[in-house]
Amino acid sequence: MKTISVDISDELVSYYGNEQIRKLIQDELEYLRFKLLEEKIQKSMQATNVDWDKEFEKAREETFKEYALKRGINAK
């Protein structure tokens, strides 16, 4: 993990405080990390010869059948 130094205006520090600014920056960086991971997963999924829409639909149907069975619902 790296530590970086960022210049922030005194007005912002005064208004929001150090902790709120730190949290804002940390949250944004976590979001960017999540987005990067999503892009990597999407690229990996596209590199396969699997019809993911079909696979997800199959999993959804199987899950609903299991749910319906537990709830006594007539699932077809």
Nearest to 18 by CA among 33, 31, 2, 6: 6
* 57 part of a folded domain: yes
With contact defined as beta carbons under 8 Å apart, do 13 and 21 qualify? Answer: yes
Into how many domains does the chain fold?
1
Cα(54)–Cα(61) distance, integer angstroms:
11
In angstroms, what is the C-alpha Rg of the chain? Answer: 23
The whole domain housing 46 covers 10-71
* 19 part of a folded domain: yes
Residue 23 has pLDDT above 70, yes or no: yes
* 4 part of a folded domain: no
Tens digits of residue pLDDT in 31-70 = 999 999 999 999 998 899 899 999 999 999 999 999 999 9
Q: Which two tokens stand for residue 22?
A: 């730190």
Instruction: Compute the half-sphere exposure of residue 33: CA atoms within 13 Å on the CB side of its CA.
Output: 6
- The one-letter amino acid at 30: E
What pLDDT, on the 0 to 100 scale, is given for residue 14?
96
Residue 75 has pLDDT above 80, yes or no: no
* 44 part of a folded domain: yes
What pLDDT, on the 0 to 100 scale, is given for residue 76?
59
